[in-house]
Amino acid sequence: MNNNSNNNLKKLIDIGRALSREKNIDFLLEKILTEAKTISNSDGGTVYLVIDEGKKLNFEIMHTETLGIKFGGSSSPVPDSIYPVKIYTDDGQENTHNVAAVCALKGKTINIDDAYINKDYDFSGTKGFDEKNNYRSKSFLTVPLKDHKNKVIGVMQLINAKSGDDIIPYSDELVDLVEALSSQASVALTNQLLVNEQKQLFRSFIKLVAEALENKDQATGGHCNRVPVLTMMIAEEINDDKTDYFKDFSFSEDELDELYVSGWLHDFGKVATPEHVMNKATKLEGLYDKIDQIKLKFEILKRDVEIAYYKNKVNEIDLDKDLIESELKQIKNDMAFLEHSNIGGEFMSDDLKNRVKEIGKKEIKINDNNICLLSEDEIENLTISRGTLSSKDLKIMQQHVVLTYTLLSKLPYPDHLKQVPFYAGCHHEKIDGSGYPNGYKGDKLPIQARIIAIADVFEGLTAPDRPYKEGYKLSKALTILKGMAIDGEIDSDLFNLFIIKKLYLKYANDMIDKKQIDHIEEKEFLV
Ligand SMILES: [Fe+2]
Ligand SMILES: [Fe+2]
């Protein structure tokens, strides 16, 4: 091996290493072209990727040194006015006129000494370009980029090999060298495309989960779509924050990806939560709202009183009409009270609960049996202190996070997503240990779990699409969040960042109803 070959080999090895390190496809393509240009001493070049299921070649990177043209990669994108090259014509025929298209079709290198003399391909576009830019495109080397299955995934075209000021044809030695570089480039490119494809597939899959939940319950679907948005807003702000709470900390690309996936999947377990619990609009709602049964029993009670009245009248027994009327009025009031209690709109004091219990003790006769007006189950539900969920319902609801963890743990994650089940499964934990399902304290809760927890609560409070509850205004939602920060339930640094960097407002402007956005005095909210 002579010195020259040795040098080339060393160069190729270095280039291979550099290419395999590049994770960003655009930068990788740019690197491929730059290295190929350098190694072949070319003035310009283009890298195309195959798109539209093999029908077209898209301009990804374009360089022409002497004209100072640089598009794609780290420079501005290739202008939209430069259309992709058709590999197949509109009527499905192979495009045999364009050299890059033929290179893609045949999977073979095409070396042209002078485009203006060449008769095999149509270079009229090139000539037009040259005329406009006072340039002379001469030697062309067009090589295919192939994946692990030998399928063409792109084309690299080098233009105008130089020797001093002269433009020369690409020598056989240069062709070998560029082809060797192209196969290395193809490996790196294929790897990145496969990684991207996998990422795309997984991202589509996680969005499908939110869509499945949306079909089950629209509000939960909306929640699952908004929590990752807020989660990433907070994470990106942490990365930008160089002056305040998180100046010494930032997330890597992989960590951001892991957090994004965790945010999307945090309520995955709700796929198994029964719909009648998830959508429980009233305290008595099960598979249907049992308030109607109670109304029927009240109707019986009322008629029993009325029948007794008329029976006594027939028997000419002395009647206290006022007493009967007040009894009927009481029945009406009691029913109205139960209907109101069923909504679960406000806190239920012990007095109110006792009133439910007292009403429940009244009896009616059905099939000659005396039965209580309210069953134990009805009393238990109607005396729910806050909201519409009984303690049994709450347990069922809380199960979703256990299931999130259990189900997500079954997936074989790549290394950088290994913590997804844990981060997602911790979103109802609180720093003071009062959360569920494990009661983990702060020392066990990484920042990722803390971010999702804040996003989860804030979204829940401000959700604009809950059917039975209006989304809170910003001032009310932030007051609740502040209370949680003071009580040590959520991370106070994150909460302060949320306020100082106006993340609450940025999120609100994008995601909630305008009428919920009221002014807050930020200083008053800092913890
Ligand atoms: Fe949850
Ligand atoms: Fe949630």
Expressed in angstroms and rounded, the spacing between residue 395 Cα and the centre of ligand 1 is 12
| pLDDT, mean of residues 419-442 | 97
Expressed in angstroms and rounded, the spacing between residue 263 Cα and the centre of ligand 2 is 9
> SS3 string of 166-181?
EEECCCHHHHHHHHHH
Residue pair 408/421 in contact by the 8 Å Cβ criterion:
yes
Torsions phi, psi for 167 (to 5 deg): -95, 125
C-alpha distances out from residue 283 to 345, 357, 451, Å: 10, 15, 32
Q: Which amino acid is at 493?
A: D
Cα separation of 167 and 130, whole Å? 15
Expressed in angstroms and rounded, the spacing between residue 355 Cα and the centre of ligand 1 is 34
Residue pair 439/425 in contact by the 8 Å Cβ criterion:
no
Expressed in angstroms and rounded, the spacing between residue 289 Cα and the centre of ligand 2 is 25
Expressed in angstroms and rounded, the spacing between residue 270 Cα and the centre of ligand 2 is 9
pLDDT above 70 (res 139) = yes
Cα separation of 398 and 273, whole Å? 9
Expressed in angstroms and rounded, the spacing between residue 270 Cα and the centre of ligand 1 is 8
The closest of 235, 136, 150 to 186, measured between CA atoms, is 150
Q: Is 104 left (phi over 0), alpha (psi -120 to 50) or beta?
A: alpha
Expressed in angstroms and rounded, the spacing between residue 267 Cα and the centre of ligand 2 is 5
How does pLDDT run across 230-243, given as a tens digit for each residue?
A: 999 999 999 998 76
Helix (H) or strand (E) holding 157: strand 152-163
Expressed in angstroms and rounded, the spacing between residue 224 Cα and the centre of ligand 2 is 7
The closest of 167, 175, 171 to 136, measured between CA atoms, is 167
268: Cα separation from own chain's centroid: 12
Cα separation of 432 and 445, whole Å? 10
Expressed in angstroms and rounded, the spacing between residue 459 Cα and the centre of ligand 2 is 8
pTM to 2 decimals? 0.76
Q: At what angle do helices 474-486 and 447-462 cross, to 10 degrees?
A: 140
Expressed in angstroms and rounded, the spacing between residue 388 Cα and the centre of ligand 1 is 17
Expressed in angstroms and rounded, the spacing between residue 498 Cα and the centre of ligand 1 is 20
The closest of 366, 384, 386, 382 to 374, measured between CA atoms, is 382
Expressed in angstroms and rounded, the spacing between residue 457 Cα and the centre of ligand 1 is 9
Give the least confident one: 24-38, 155-169, 206-220, 284-298: 284-298
Expressed in angstroms and rounded, the spacing between residue 401 Cα and the centre of ligand 1 is 6
Ligand nearest the Cα of residue 269 is 1
Expressed in angstroms and rounded, the spacing between residue 503 Cα and the centre of ligand 2 is 19
Q: Is 69 left (phi over 0), alpha (psi -120 to 50) or beta?
A: beta
Expressed in angstroms and rounded, the spacing between residue 423 Cα and the centre of ligand 1 is 12
Ligand nearest the Cα of residue 455 is 2
Q: What is the dihedral of CA 499, 501, 504, 507, to 10 degrees?
A: -170
Helix segments in 409-440, DSSP class H? 420-425
Cα separation of 367 and 252, whole Å? 72
Cα separation of 200 and 25, whole Å? 14
Ligand nearest the Cα of residue 222 is 2
Cα separation of 246 and 19, whole Å? 33
Give the residue carrying structure tokens 């067009």. 142
Expressed in angstroms and rounded, the spacing between residue 117 Cα and the centre of ligand 1 is 69
pLDDT above 80 (res 4) = no
Expressed in angstroms and rounded, the spacing between residue 266 Cα and the centre of ligand 1 is 6
Expressed in angstroms and rounded, the spacing between residue 441 Cα and the centre of ligand 1 is 18
Ligand nearest the Cα of residue 223 is 2
Residue pair 224/208 in contact by the 8 Å Cβ criterion:
no
The predicted structure's pLDDT at residue 290: 82
Q: Are strands 69-71 and 85-86 parallel, antiparallel or unpaired?
A: unpaired
Ligand nearest the Cα of residue 457 is 2
The closest of 485, 521, 496 to 237, measured between CA atoms, is 496
pLDDT above 60 (res 1) = no
Expressed in angstroms and rounded, the spacing between residue 37 Cα and the centre of ligand 1 is 54
Q: Is 40 helix (H, G, I), strand (E, B) or coil?
A: helix
Number of other CB atoms surrounding residue 385 within 10 Å:
12
Helix segments in 134-285, DSSP class H? 172-216, 218-240, 253-265, 275-278
Ligand nearest the Cα of residue 452 is 2
Give the least confident one: 11-20, 286-295, 313-322, 391-400: 313-322
Expressed in angstroms and rounded, the spacing between residue 452 Cα and the centre of ligand 2 is 8
How does pLDDT run across 180-211, given as a tens digit for each residue?
A: 999 989 999 999 999 899 989 999 999 998 89
Expressed in angstroms and rounded, the spacing between residue 527 Cα and the centre of ligand 1 is 25
The predicted structure's pLDDT at residue 255: 97
Expressed in angstroms and rounded, the spacing between residue 472 Cα and the centre of ligand 1 is 19
Expressed in angstroms and rounded, the spacing between residue 264 Cα and the centre of ligand 2 is 9
Ligand nearest the Cα of residue 398 is 1
The closest of 447, 449, 441 to 238, measured between CA atoms, is 447
The predicted structure's pLDDT at residue 367: 82
Give the residue carrying structure tokens 């406000």. 346
Percent of the chain, pLDDT > 90?
Answer: 71
Give the least confident one: 91-105, 187-201, 263-277, 282-296: 282-296
| pLDDT, mean of residues 29-51 | 95
Using pLDDT thresholds of 50, 70 and 90, give the confidence band for residue 277.
confident
Q: Which amino acid is at 409?
A: S
Expressed in angstroms and rounded, the spacing between residue 226 Cα and the centre of ligand 2 is 10
How does pLDDT run across 366-406, given as a tens digit for each residue?
A: 888 888 999 998 999 899 888 888 888 899 999 999 999 99
Q: Is 394 left (phi over 0), alpha (psi -120 to 50) or beta?
A: alpha
The predicted structure's pLDDT at residue 293: 86
Cα separation of 34 and 22, whole Å? 14
Q: In angstroms, what is the C-alpha Rg of the chain? A: 36
The closest of 227, 215, 224 to 269, measured between CA atoms, is 224
